[in-house]
Amino acid sequence: MIIAETKRLLISEFTIEDAPFFLELTNAPNSIKYIGDKKLKSVEDAEKYLINKTIKSYNDFNFGFYKLELKGEKNRPIGTCGLAKREELDDVDIGFAFLPEYEGKGFGSEASIRIMTLAKETFKLNKLIAITVPYNKNSMKLLEKLGFACEKRIKPFEDDEELLLFAKKL
Domains in the chain, CATH or no CATH each = 2-125 (3.40.630.30)
pLDDT band for 157, please (50, 70, 90 cuts): confident
pLDDT of residue 126: 97
* Residues 9-14, mean pLDDT to the nearest whole number: 98
Q: Would you say 75 and 44 are in contact if contact means Cβ atoms under 8 Å apart? A: no
Whether the CB-CB separation of 65 and 57 falls below 8 Å is answered with yes
pLDDT tens-place string over residues 63-102: 999 999 999 878 899 999 999 999 999 999 999 999 999 9
Q: Count CB-CB contacts under 10 A for residue 151.
A: 12
**pLDDT recorded at residue 160:** 80
Residue 161 has pLDDT above 90, yes or no: no
CA dihedral for 102, 153, 60, 34, sign (positive or negative): positive
SS (H, E, C) the chain: CEEEECCCEEEEECCHHHHHHHHHHHCCHHHHHHCCCCCCCCHHHHHHHHHHHHHHHHHHHCCCEEEEEECCHHHCEEEEEEEECCCCCCCCEEEEEECHHHCCCCHHHHHHHHHHHHHHHCCCCCEEEEEECCCCHHHHHHHHHCCCEEEEEECCCCCCCCEEEEEEEC
Q: So what's the pLDDT on residue 159?
A: 82
Q: Reply yes or no on whether the pLDDT at 33 is more than 90.
A: yes
Mean local confidence (pLDDT), 96-123? 97
Cα 55 from Cα 106, distance rounded (Å): 26
**107-112: average pLDDT:** 98
pLDDT in the model for residue 16: 97
The predicted model scores a pTM of: 0.94
Give me the amino acid identity at 25.
L
Query: Where residue 48 falls among pLDDT bands split at 50, 70, 90?
Result: very high
- pLDDT above 90 covers what percent of the chain? 94
